[in-house]
């Protein structure tokens, strides 16, 4: 079932974390933050919404990194219930798609809860001072990719944030599969 999270709660602070990457090394927010802003993405391996746009996520993430924006992807899905989203499979996905950004695993889901992540993909774009300025979609894609020349909403918003510290006031929410929460 598709989930669409709320759009940006402007100026909400980011949330620190220390999570393992695909090599098992702990990375913190300060290690991945960029001098011109930071993009925190909640993705996973199995979600058809993520899979349909993964090439675009990688393209835009790498372009933003080249402009001084820090980028990190986090998987928070319950890997026991969804083994494809576990750390071993995350390694494969990152290698197969040439991730230059860290792909972290939130095993206890505390980071996803702190951010209020609701779906995959869920994008959180922060200014250099750690204030939320974008929470919207990558582009007009849904369960299938939009046209190749679709407006690059996330990319353009993050460039604006890098240049001005402020995100666009009009944002369209992302859409994706719900985070697979562990049973209480």
- Tokens at 36, concatenated: 């011109």
Backbone phi, psi, residue 73, to 5°: -110, 140
The correct answer on CATH 3.40.50.740 for the domain covering 2-178 is no
Mention every residue, 6+ apart, whose C-beta is less than 8 A from residue 23. Answer: none
Question: Are the C-beta atoms of residues 53 and 97 closer than 8 Å to each other?
Answer: no
Q: Please give the DSSP secondary-structure letter assigned to residue 90.
A: H
Burial class, 67, CB count within 10 angstroms (exposed 0-12 / middle 13-18 / buried 19+): middle
Backbone phi, psi, residue 157, to 5°: -65, -45
pLDDT digits (tens, 9 = 90+) for 113-154: 999 999 999 999 999 999 999 999 999 998 999 999 999 999
pLDDT digits (tens, 9 = 90+) for 77-87: 999 999 999 99
In which band, very low, low, confident or very high, does the pLDDT at 1 lie, cut at 50, 70 and 90?
low
pTM (whole model) above 0.95: yes
Q: Which helix (H) or strand (E) holds 162?
A: helix 153-164
């Amino acid at each position: 079932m598709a989930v669409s999270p709320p759009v940006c709660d402007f100026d909400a602070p980011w949330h620190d974390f220390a999570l393992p990457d695909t090599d098992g090394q702990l990375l913190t927010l300060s290690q991945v933050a960029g001098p011109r802003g930071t993009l925190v993405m909640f993705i996973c391996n199995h979600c058809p919404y993520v899979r349909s746009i993964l090439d675009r996520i990688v393209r835009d993430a790498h372009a933003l990194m080249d402009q001084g924006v820090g980028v990190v992807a986090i998987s928070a899905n319950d890997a026991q219930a969804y083994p494809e989203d576990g750390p071993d499979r995350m390694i494969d996905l990152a290698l197969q798609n040439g991730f230059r950004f860290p792909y972290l695993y939130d095993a206890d889901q505390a980071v996803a809860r702190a951010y209020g992540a609701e779906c995959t993909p869920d994008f959180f774009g922060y200014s250099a001072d750690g204030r939320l300025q974008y929470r919207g979609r990558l582009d007009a894609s849904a369960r299938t990719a939009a046209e190749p020349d679709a407006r690059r909403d996330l990319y353009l918003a993050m460039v604006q944030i890098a240049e001005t510290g402020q995100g666009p006031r009009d944002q369209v929410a992302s859409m994706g599969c719900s985070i697979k929460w562990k049973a209480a």
